[in-house]
Structures are given as C-alpha cells and as structure tokens.
C-alpha cells in the first residue's frame, strides 16, 4: 500500500467506524438488494443513526457540522473496498447535499435537512433527459410560473435513487426562451400529484442502485420549493459539478486499487505449468504497469481532494480527475480480469462484479469526451 498524506488521525478513526458499519449493516444484505434492485430504507436510517449522512450539514439540522470532504472520501473508499456498489450515499452526501446546504433558505433547511441527515428523506437530482445528457443546455423539461406554483412538465431518465427518493432536485426551464439563463432548480417531493416514476431500469452493473425514469405531468410545485434564485440553475450546476466529478474519480481510483490488490493475491496463488502465474514475466510486467499507474492516479486524486478542501479545485482539474481516473479504473479492471483467466468471467469473483459496476463511471457525471472538451476549452481552444 502506498503512503498517503491526505488524512489526519480523526479521518482514520472515522474510517474504523465506517468499516464496522459497512461490514455489519450493508455487506450481509448486498445479495438480496441486488436481487430486489434497490437497498432497504432500514439501511438508510441506520446510516443516518450512525452519523454517516450529511457530514457537512449544520448540527442544528442533525448533520455532522464538519465541512471536510475527506470524510466523504473515507466513506466512499470503504464502500468500494467492501464491494457495496448500490448504496446511494455518495449521491446523497457528495452531490445533493451542497445544493441543499448552499441554496436552501432557512425554511427549506428546517423542512428538509433533518430528514436528509436521519435517512428518512432519500434524495436525488434529475438532470438527464432522453434527449439531453452531458449537454445540460439541451434540457426540455419546463416549469412555468402560475401564481404561487410552478407547473412542471417533462421527463427525466437514468436518475439514481429514482425509485426510493423522497426529494428530487429537478432541473427545468422556467423561461424556455432564455437559453441557459432560463434554467432553475425545483425540489419535487414524493407523492406530489402528477409526479410518476417509471420502471427501475435494468442495468448491466450496480444492480442494487435504483435507477429510474421520472415523469412530470402538470405537477404543481409550490414556489417555496424553488431552490436558490429563478434563472440561476445553470450557474448552480456548474458550481457543484466539480465535487460530483471528484467523487466519481475517488471511487474509481479506490476500485482500481482494490482490484489490483486482489489480482496480485490471485497471481501468487494461481499456478500454471507448475509455478504461480505471478512468476511469469508477462504477468509481472502487467502488474508493474498497473501498480505504477494506480499510484500516480492516487497521488493526483489526493491532490485534487486537498485542493477541494481548501476551496481551490478548478473545473478543469475536476474534469481531469473524473475522466482519467475512471478510464484508468476501466483499463485496470479489464487487465486484471484477463489475468484471472476464465475465473475472471465468473460473477462470483469480485473482479467480474467490479468490471460491470465500474463501466458507467466514464459516462455519468459527464462523459470522458465532455471532460476532455472542458479541459480543451480551458486551454484556450
């Protein structure tokens, strides 16, 4: 294991707490959740009771009151290490929480944050549509003001926590003629008339993460559920996407690290032609290359986390972390599966599950291609 200088003693103490929780409360239930296509609400409430939801939320609302993304990193790394790919806490803590903390007014915070932190209110954010993915300016969902309400119409797809969510931040056009300046964020609550959930989508991986289509048919959303200012939604999205992308990068490098370690053990134990396959030069070279790349990736990931904690993470560095670490993870897992031979193709082996679970990382949160476009534009091209 490489030496890391990212964490303080309090983070490592927190890691012990998280590891115990994940081992006791999550790991035993993964098979049943994979079969059901979603985790249990009890798991969310247990995470809330353990203080694992809303680290950065003020303690007056039931949160941890500590705005330090390194705690998020620890939780995410332990989920990956345990092979728990479907529990939606990274979405809840890393992606949704900043919107509620930074944009919600006092009344909204009192209404939503206690349940958010206790696990009683599961959250989601609905950006992607059938015709608009990484290009957020292409969204067509509309929310037209009518007195003290917005009338919401449209469709979203590939929404993580889509089935279980109680609060959904919906990206919609409040002024269809104003381009990106006409986009706003509305919080839609469970059971609002006209809000319907489609099927729990059948994915190739992350089977226990409920991912759904969402439909809005003349949903009357109270104006008091507007998050932030009308017309500023696109700006808010751009401000919060770097943390989302860093979160994906953190999970990606944690996955590559885990699978590489498992593969090294396998290569010590598996024999061919009378000796461990790790004794063959080709195997050693493959492992050496991956070990080098993973260590380089971890150093960059940790640097980005440190920058983010200081409030200095740039949009382009977040994009670099997202695309390069997710592509690295994909590449490492593919090579590790090859070293496992036929056993790597069996779903009972962690490398096979990781192969399926990790494939989406180069897609969600902005595709690799879009990340490169962001970086290229930052270079003046």
Q: Determine the pLDDT at residue 137.
A: 77
Q: Would you tell me how many other CB atoms lie within 10 Å of the CB of residue 24?
A: 11
Helix (H, G, I), strand (E, B) or coil at 105: coil
Is residue 135 scored above 80 in pLDDT? no
111 CB-near residues (< 8 Å, 6+ apart): none
Helix (H, G, I), strand (E, B) or coil at 195: strand
State both tokens at 224.
């008091």
- Residue 157's closest CA among 131, 191, 188, 190? 131
State both tokens at 192.
């609002």
Is residue 211 scored above 70 in pLDDT? yes
Q: What is the spatial distance between Cα 127 and Cα 370, in angstroms, rounded to a whole number?
A: 16
Q: What is the spatial distance between Cα 318 and Cα 312, in angstroms, rounded to a whole number?
A: 11
Q: Which residues of 127-144 are buried (b: 16+ CB within 10 A; e: fewer)?
A: bbbeebbbebeebebbbe
Helix axes 315-339, 368-378, angle to 10 degrees: 140
Percent of the chain with pLDDT over 90: 95
pLDDT, tens digit, for every residue of 337-371?
999 999 999 999 999 999 999 999 999 999 999 99
Task: Provide the annotated active-site residues.
Answer: 244
Angle at 138 between CA 210 and CA 326, to 5 degrees: 50
Q: What is the spatial distance between Cα 60 and Cα 321, in angstroms, rounded to a whole number?
A: 34
Q: Determine the pLDDT at residue 169.
A: 98
Q: What is the spatial distance between Cα 139 and Cα 231, in angstroms, rounded to a whole number?
A: 14
**DSSP-derived secondary structure for 108-173:** HHHHHHHHHHHTSS-EEEE--BTTBSS-GGG---EEEEETTEEEEEEEEEEEETTTT-SEEEEEEE
Angle at 4 between CA 330 and CA 363, to 5 degrees: 25
pLDDT, tens digit, for every residue of 46-89?
999 999 999 999 999 999 999 999 999 999 999 999 999 999 99
pLDDT, tens digit, for every residue of 243-275?
999 999 999 999 999 999 999 999 999 999 999
Q: What is the spatial distance between Cα 176 and Cα 173, in angstroms, rounded to a whole number?
A: 5
Helix axes 350-358, 233-269, angle to 10 degrees: 160
Average pLDDT, integer, range 128-152: 90
Average pLDDT, integer, range 124-128: 96
Confidence of residue 27 (pLDDT cuts 50, 70, 90): very high
Confidence of residue 155 (pLDDT cuts 50, 70, 90): very high
Lookup result for tokens 């595709």: 367
Is residue 138 scored above 90 in pLDDT? no
Q: Determine the pLDDT at residue 126.
A: 97
Q: Determine the pLDDT at residue 82.
A: 97
Domains, in order of start, for the chain: 9-121 (1.10.540.10), 125-230 (2.40.110.10), 234-379 (1.20.140.10)
3-state SS of 313-352 is CCHHHHHHHHHHHHHHHHHHHHHHHHHCHHHHHCCCCHHH
Lookup result for tokens 């700006």: 235
Q: Determine the pLDDT at residue 105.
A: 97
Rg (CA), the chain: 21
Q: Determine the pLDDT at residue 1.
A: 60
Q: What is the spatial distance between Cα 169 and Cα 17, in angstroms, rounded to a whole number?
A: 30
- How much is the mean pLDDT over the chain? 96
What is this structure's pTM? Answer: 0.96
3-state SS of 221-284 is EEHHHEECCCCCHHHHHHHHHHHHHHHHHHHHHHHHHHHHHHHHHHHHHCEECCEEHHHCHHHH
Average pLDDT, integer, range 1-10: 88
DSSP secondary structure letter of residue 188: E
Q: Would you tell me how many other CB atoms lie within 10 Å of the CB of residue 192?
A: 16
pLDDT, tens digit, for every residue of 168-207?
999 999 999 888 899 999 999 999 999 999 999 999 999 9
Q: Determine the pLDDT at residue 3.
A: 83
Is residue 136 scored above 80 in pLDDT? no
Please give the C-alpha separations between residue 292 and each of 332, 339, 372, in angstroms, as whole numbers: 11, 17, 23
Is residue 23 scored above 80 in pLDDT? yes
């Amino acid at each position: 294991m490489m030496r890391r200088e990212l964490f303080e003693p309090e983070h490592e103490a927190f890691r012990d707490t998280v590891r115990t929780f994940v081992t006791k409360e999550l790991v035993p239930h993964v098979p049943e959740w994979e079969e059901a296509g979603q985790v249990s609400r009890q798991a969310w409430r247990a995470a809330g009771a353990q203080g694992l939801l809303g680290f950065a939320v003020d303690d007056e609302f039931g949160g941890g009151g500590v705005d330090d993304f390194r705690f998020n990193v620890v939780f995410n790394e332990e989920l990956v290490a345990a092979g728990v790919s479907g529990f939606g806490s990274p979405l809840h803590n890393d992606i949704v929480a900043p919107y509620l903390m930074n944009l919600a007014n006092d009344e909204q915070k009192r209404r939503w944050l206690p349940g958010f932190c206790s696990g009683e209110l599961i959250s989601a954010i609905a950006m992607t549509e059938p015709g608009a993915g990484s290009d957020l300016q292409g969204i067509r969902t509309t929310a037209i003001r009518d007195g003290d309400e917005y009338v919401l119409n449209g469709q979203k797809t590939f929404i993580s926590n889509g089935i279980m969510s109680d609060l959904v931040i919906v990206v919609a056009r409040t002024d269809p003629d104003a381009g990106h300046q006409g986009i706003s964020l509305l919080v839609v609550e469970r059971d609002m008339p006209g809000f319907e959930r489609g099927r729990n989508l059948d994915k190739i991986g992350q089977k226990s993460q409920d991912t759904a289509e969402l439909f809005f048919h003349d949903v009357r959303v109270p104006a008091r559920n507007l998050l932030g200012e009308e017309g500023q939604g696109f700006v808010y999205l751009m401000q919060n996407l770097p943390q989302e992308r860093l979160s994906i990068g953190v999970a990606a490098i944690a996955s590559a690290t885990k699978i590489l370690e498992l593969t090294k053990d396998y290569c010590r134990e598996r024999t061919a032609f009378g000796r461990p396959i790790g004794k063959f030069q080709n195997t050693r070279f493959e492992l050496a290359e991956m070990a080098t790349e993973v260590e380089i990736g971890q150093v960059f990931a940790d640097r980005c986390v440190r920058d983010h904690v200081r409030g200095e993470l740039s949009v382009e560095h977040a994009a670099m972390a997202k695309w390069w670490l997710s592509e690295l993870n994909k590449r490492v897992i593919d090579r590790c599966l090859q070293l496992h031979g036929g056993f790597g193709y069996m779903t009972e082996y962690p490398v096979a599950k990781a192969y399926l679970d990790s494939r989406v990382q180069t897609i969600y949160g902005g595709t690799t291609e879009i990340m490169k476009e962001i970086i290229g534009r930052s270079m003046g091209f």
